[in-house]
Structure formats: structure tokens, C-alpha cells
């Protein structure tokens, strides 16, 4: 069973759904910071499509997520950018406001939560098998 936790002050300040989305963004931005990934213009970023966010937060609709991201951007809680390699890729990138990110880094909750982050390069990846012969059965 998964639990959703968020800072009550964020819910009060930004609204409940935007606070849930903000919590998710903080998580991924802190993870990228720890991995030293996705740093652009002096900030750490995370990216996803609206469909990807709905898979990450299946209890929210695409419409709710889009409105929450727009609201957080308008309120100055997040920055929105595009650092995609391909021009046709319109996936949006998100970074958390410096003050909010610093607040998260100093909180006991996030210190405990990020303590066990593993670097992306620490993942155990199975090597490609070395098959010298490939046998294909006839029909």
C-alpha cells in the first residue's frame, strides 16, 4: 500500500491537488540533484508528459495535473522549460523554486526520504547475453 504525504502549508498555500503534484516534483528534482542529472541553467529539472504524470499519480486525471502544473507555475512555485534534444519533442521540464527546494532539503522528512536514494548508475543491469548461436525452430 502506498501513502501520499505532503506538507500542510503547501496544501494551504497552493491548493490540495497542486500540493500533491508539487510533492511529486520535489521528489524527482531532489533525486536528479543527488544523481547530478538534468542540470540546466543552474537548476535541477525533471520531465514528464501529462500521460506519464497520470501513471505516476493514477488518482489524478490528466486535466487535474495540467491545471495543477499551470497553477504552480503561475504562483511561482515551479519553473517550466524545454531541454529536449529533439526540437519536435514538446515534453515539458519542471524545476522547483529555489526557496521551496532549499526548504525541502532542510526538512527532516526529505532528509529521511532522500537518504536511501541510489544513483541511477548504481542500478544492477543484466548484461546482454553472449549467444553465439541462435536456433530458430521451423514452422
What's the confidence (pLDDT) of residue 121? 47
What pTM was computed for the model? 0.80
Q: What is the DSSP letter of 120?
A: G
pLDDT, residue 46, reads 94
Q: Report the pLDDT value the prediction gives residue 3, as an integer from 0 to 100.
A: 76
For the beta sheet containing 46-48, the strands, ordered from the edge strand earlier in sequence to the opposite edge, are: 46-48, 92-96, 78-81
* Confidence at residue 112, expressed as pLDDT on a 0 to 100 scale: 83
Domains of the chain: 8-122 (1.10.10.10)
Task: Give me the pLDDT at residue 138, please.
Answer: 57
Helix locations, the chain, DSSP H: 8-14, 16-35, 50-56, 62-74, 98-106, 108-114
Q: Mean pLDDT, 10 residues at a time, over the chain (139 residues)?
A: 82 95 94 91 93 91 96 97 87 95 90 72 43 50
Burial of 41 (0-12, 13-18, 19+ CB in 10 A): exposed
CA distance 134 to 49: 39
Three-state DSSP state, 96 = strand
Amino acid at each position: 500500500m502506498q501513502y501520499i504525504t505532503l506538507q500542510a502549508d503547501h496544501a494551504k498555500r497552493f491548493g490540495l491537488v497542486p500540493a500533491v503534484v508539487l510533492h511529486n516534483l520535489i521528489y524527482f528534482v531532489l533525486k536528479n540533484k543527488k544523481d547530478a542529472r538534468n542540470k540546466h541553467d543552474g537548476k535541477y529539472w525533471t520531465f514528464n508528459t501529462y500521460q506519464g504524470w497520470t501513471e505516476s499519480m493514477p488518482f489524478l486525471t490528466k486535466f487535474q495535473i495540467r491545471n495543477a502544473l499551470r497553477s504552480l507555475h503561475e504562483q511561482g512555485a515551479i519553473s517550466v522549460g524545454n531541454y529536449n534534444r529533439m526540437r519536435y519533442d514538446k515534453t515539458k521540464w519542471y524545476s522547483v523554486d529555489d526557496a521551496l527546494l532549499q526548504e525541502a532539503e532542510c526538512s527532516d522528512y526529505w532528509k529521511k526520504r532522500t537518504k536511501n536514494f541510489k544513483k541511477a548508475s548504481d542500478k544492477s543491469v543484466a548484461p546482454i547475453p553472449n549467444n553465439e548461436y541462435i536456433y530458430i525452430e521451423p514452422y
